[in-house]
Structure 1
């Protein structure tokens, strides 16, 4: 109970230091904050956490790789009028690449949920989804507030 009261304060305090560092350091600190936030919000036991985090970290790394792959393909094909210069065949290839990446992400999420079902209850899996959404919202809000 105390953790739920203290965590928002610690979250704000630690995130203030994140924005003054390099990308890798920021990403690592955000990851640490996310781990603490998820552990608290989902209510993971020690036993659950030891089984959960390897599954989650594998999923998170693979998802990060796929999203970066998708962004690279998208950016390389979306610069200044590139779409207008594409042939229909090139556009179809690009569209297929986008669809394949989306399908990979979808399948990755399905596998992740299936793997989680062996470790967590359905309620805790739903709490995980909510915790991730809440964490991302707080992080975006802080980034937005820093930009003002």
Structure 2
């Protein structure tokens, strides 16, 4: 009986270690993507060291805010609208959920407006426009790399 308990504890420990490693791998990939994005945007905007020192704290705060909004609110909505729950949802529940989603989208929009407003005193308007293009180009490039590496 004691041997079974020891084996059980060892198996649980190894599985927990495996989950922790998987989490570290995902975090490592996120960190790598973030580093690549920083380099890409810095290059595309031709940020000077002075601009960079002021730009990145503002941009990183925006990214964090955006990620928090998406993580907390949007994921909650998406978890509630699988095929089963959609078919069982009343019109009133659907309307309420839709209003909540619109509110979240508005919150994301307001965060973007605040970013632009904060950046106006830090970098020239042309670089703010280039930022939008650089973000889209980076995301497109990242998606293409994902598609190219995906097994078919």
**What does residue 37 of structure 1 align with?**
40
Structure 1 residue 43: deviation in Å? 0.4
Gaps spanning 5+ residues in structure 1: where?
1-20
- Measured on the aligned residues, the alpha-carbon RMSD in Å equals 1.3
CA contact (8 A) 2:74 2:101 kept: no
Which structure: larger Rg? 2
**Could you report, residue by residue, the CA deviation over 1:95-116 in whole angstroms, capped at 9, with x for unpaired residues?**
1110110010010010010001
In the alignment, does 2:52 pair up with 1:49? yes
CA positional deviation for 1:80: 2.7
Task: Name which of 96, 100, 110 aligns with 1:97.
Answer: 100
Q: CA deviation at 1:51?
A: 0.4
Distance 1:75 1:105 in 2: 16
Whether 1:109 aligns to 2:118 is no
- Answering whether residue 72 of structure 2 is matched by residue 69 of structure 1, we say yes
Q: Which residue of 2 aligns with 1:144?
A: 147
Q: Which runs of 5+ in 2 are unaligned?
A: 1-23
TM-score (normalised: structure 2): 0.79
Q: Following TM superposition, by how much is the alpha carbon of 1:81 offset from its aligned partner in structure 2, in angstroms?
A: 2.2
The list of structure 1 runs, each at least 4 consecutive aligned residues, that deviate by more than 3 angstroms after superposition, is none
What TM-score does the superposition give when structure 1 sets the normalisation length?
0.81
Shift in Å, 1:117: 0.4
Distance apart, 1:126 and its partner CA: 1.0
CA shift, 1:92, in A, is 1.8
Distance 1:60 1:36 in 2: 15
Partners of 2:137 and 2:89 in 1: CA distance: 40
Structure with the bigger RCO (C-alpha within 8 Å, sep 6+) is 2
1:119 counterpart (94, 119, 122)? 122
